[in-house]
Every structure is written in C-alpha cells, then in structure tokens.
A and B are shown apart, each in its own frame.
Chain A
Amino acid sequence: MIRIENLVKTFGTKRAVDGVSFTVERGEVVGFLGPNGSGKSTTMRMITGFYPPTSGSVTVGGHDVAESPLDAKRLIGYLPESAAAYPEMTVESFLTFAAAMRGLKGEAQKKAIARVVERCFLSSVRRQSIDTLSKGYKHRTCLAQALIHDPEVLVLDEPTDGLDPNQKHEVRNLIRELGRSKAVIFSTHILEEVDAACTRAIIIDRGRIVAQGTPAELRAMSATAGAVTLEAQGATAEKLSALGRVESLDGVFRIYPRDASQAAVLAAAIIELVSREGWKVRGMFSERGELDEVFRRITLPDTVKQ
C-alpha cells in the first residue's frame, strides 16, 4: 500500500532523509525506529503529502503523492507528531469537522464518530473543549481523527507519546488490531513497542535505513542473542568454557554460542553438562537478544564519534 523509492529531503544543506526505500503492505504493522532527528517524522510527512520530497517518490495505494495528492490523502489516516487539534473546538465538533472533511455525512458521520469515540475511549470528554483536556486525551482525540474514515493506510507519528502505561497498552493493542486489515506504519523510540505491536521494524539513522527485519531478526543481531545464562551451585567457568565463551559474575554464568549453528543446541548441551556434574540449578534461561542493544550498536557509533 505504501511504496517509497529513494526518498530524499534536504533542508538547506542538511539531508534529513537520504535515499530511503521501503514498502508497507496491507496486514503489516511496521515500526519505524530511530534516534531523535533521524528523519522519521520527515519521512512520515512526505508519505502524507505535507512535505514535498526533494527527490524520489511516494506511492500510496497506487497514487503518487506528488502527482495526485488528493487521491493519496483520502486513503491515509495521519497522526502528526504534535498530535495537534484545534484547541477552541470540542472533541465532538473536532471529530465532526474531520469526518466532514473526509466526505462523511449524516448517518455515516454519526456512526464514524461513535466508533472512534469508543475506540479511543473519549466518551467521557466528548463535549469538552480540547484545550481543557490532559495530554493523553488530546493525543487520543487526534488519533480518533486519524481513524475516522476507517483508512486503509495509517501513518502514526509516535502514537503512544505522552500516554500513561495503561493507555500505551490500549493503543498498542489497537494498532495491532488495525494492522490485520490495514497497512500501518508508526514511529516510536520505545523499543518494547516493536515487540508488542510490529510485524516488521525499520531502523533509520541520519536519514538512512540502517537495519530492518522482524523483531526476532533484529534481536538476533544482538551480541547476547542465543547466549544462555546459568546460575547453578557448583558450576565452574572452566567446565562451561568447553561449550563456548563464558562470562561470570557473582556465580552467574553467561555462555555464548561459538556460532549460529551451535546456538540452537547450546541449552541442551548445558543441561547435559549440568546433570552429568550434578550441579544444583537455581536458574537458567536463553537470551533472546536485546533490541535496545541492537539499536544502540547500530545508531550509536557515529553519534559518539561526533
């Protein structure tokens, strides 16, 4: 549904987005990760037609955003990073405005408003003016606006920013649910959200894609991925080191597999060793890899050099 090719956006001499290409299909939830100022919002603004690209193209549902912006915009629901809404309007009148702009009238309009009010938990503030709302409610009002026409493509810029943990949980569930029938791309810098909601993640740094894959694939890039942590009475590093490189700290050992093929059988080998030696196991688990470690390793080095 979203097809981006060689997208470039420059502001003065700065290349905010520098040759980004990817696609998002229906049924996918793509997490868009990156440090602040990496070009996430700029990319999203080009998808939604707010910024014209310096070069490259964005196609949404077969419509080129630069050439037939209205057709493309009709398919998109967009939550901007600012989550801005007209402060003097009430939630209801704001949603009515959004629905009317999307061509919804009469009964269809009422239904659409009722649906998003329920989905975004806004019924208690329906008649309240937006400037009196707390940040979480404001955010959800803007999210409701993005969902009002049941769009096929959702572009959400930091949809969980400023929400409390319960609301974050709800919004993630909502995103996952919407992702079954729509093409969803959302940006975040909360890595646990990638696990919670994404089918795929793209990591962008200084305008370029530096990694992409399913959450599991990204996690496998972590240095600790596949390592086994063992806490057992009687265990010694010498004996464990036969299986792989061992790190020990306060009687807790972490054994790293020598290579990927060994990773799958490492745990079994350790269990065998433990039972042969008769160690008393207090705890043992396999590391799946840490996303934030991957994220830091991919995006940090250059930042530190500067």
Chain B
Amino acid sequence: MRVANKAIYDSVKYNLGSISEELNKANEIVTTGKRINNLSDDPVGLTQSLNIRSTLASIEQMGRNISYGNSWLTTSESALTSVQNIISDTKVLCIQMANATIGSDQRSSAAGTVQNMLDEIVSLGNTDVAGNYIFAGSKTDTVPFDQDGTYNGDNNAFAIKISKNSTVEIGSDGEAVFGTVFNTLIDLKDALQSNDVGGIQVAMGDLDGHFEDISAKISDVGSKMNRMEIKDNILQDLNFSNTERLSKIEDADIAEAIMNLSAAELTYQAALASSSKVMTLLTLVDYLK
C-alpha cells in the first residue's frame, strides 16, 4: 500500500491520542483510588453503590435511634429498681409496724418515713431524659405525677423506630406502671397515723402485688434492652458488610491499578519513541543533491 506523508503524521496523532487517553484513565484510577470516577465508568456498580450508601445512612440513623432508646430504657430500669427497693423497704417497715409490741407513737413517726418514701416514688415517677418525662406516655413535656400521685400523662407509651418496620416503646404509660402504689402508700401512712394494724396488714398485702408488678415491668424493660442490643449487633454486622461491599464496588484494586498504569506508561513511551523515529525519517529529498 502507498504510504503518503500525511498518513504517517495522522496515524502518529491518532495513536498517541488514544494511548494518552488510556494513560489518563489509568492515572485517574490510581490517584483517586476509585474505580468509578464518572457515572459512565460503571453505571451498574454505581447504582448498587448508591443503594448501599442509602442503606448505610439508614443503618447509622437506626444506630442513633437505638442508643437514644437505650438511654431511656437504662434510666427507666434504674428508676424502677429504686422504686422496687423502696417498696421492699416499705414492706419491711410494715412487718415491723404490724408487730403488737410497737406503740402508737412509734407508728405515727413511721408515717413520716412513709411520706418520704411516697415523695421519693413520685419523684422517681417524674424521671426525665433531657427534659422528656419517660413515664408520661406521649405527653413527654408534662410532669406526669402530682405529689398525691395523680397522673397527668396519657396512656400512649412513647415509641421509636429501631428498624424500617419495627418500633419499640421506650417510654411508659406511668398510670399502668405505677398502678395504685401511691394510694397504697397513702393508705399505709393513714393507717400508721391512726394506729390501725389491720390497715397496715392490708397495705402489706398490696405492697406484695406492687412489688410483683414493678418486677414484671423491670424485666420487660430488660428484655427490650436485650432486643436493642441484639438489633445493635445486627446493625454493626450490616454496617461492616455493606461498607465492605461498597468498597469492593467503588474502590480500585491499587495493585492492579498501578500495574495498569505502568503498562499504559510503557505503551506510551514505546509509541513516543517509535513515532519520533518515523517522523524524523529522511525522505528522498535528503538524498538528492
């Protein structure tokens, strides 16, 4: 085939152009460390990575929700444990005060102790996390219990989401949790003041019931915390596996990328060397004198 002078220059231009395009691409992958630098580099991989990133953002949010929920549940647990201790202390007091050897003035001074215990339980019922009352149902900005135990909250326990489709009640309907414990204490206090041993015995029986109820509630909170912990572990696993998948899709295999870059470099140098030879080749003109 005839080779025209113009064809030599044109082909040098075309070949150097396409090799430097390859070199540039290889260099981009090495310098960014990413396989996908433009949408068109791997559209399918990109769509997957977008989905994973959105999943990761959700996982992170669920993690925040769980740790927020945990702070409520831990506070509930410790408040309820204190309530349980007070109830059990009150029961001990009842047993002492029901004894026939106890005099009326000892009983009436014990009434003061019961009042303190009542105040203590009311204050535990009004426990809050960062200003939100945890035993007020969904009326989280309302102080749930008055001094006499009157309930001001509502019966919808405060719940949050810990996954796309499951919610957990982290707050409680205070009325259901505390039941008639306030009335029992008030009755007990009255019985002590009026030296009514029968009344003390009735209260003693009621306190057993309350103790059981609060215990049940504590184990309920405990099981929720357990559920949260399991969920949290799952989330951490998911986070790990998704991050790994994302990296597999998006990140370049550096060793491979550098190999490709070196290969492209070598091709480019060879092309430059051969092009410069072809272009400086003498023509017949140089030999005619």
Bind each other: no
B interface list, Cβ under 8 A from A? none
A interface list, Cβ under 8 A from B? none
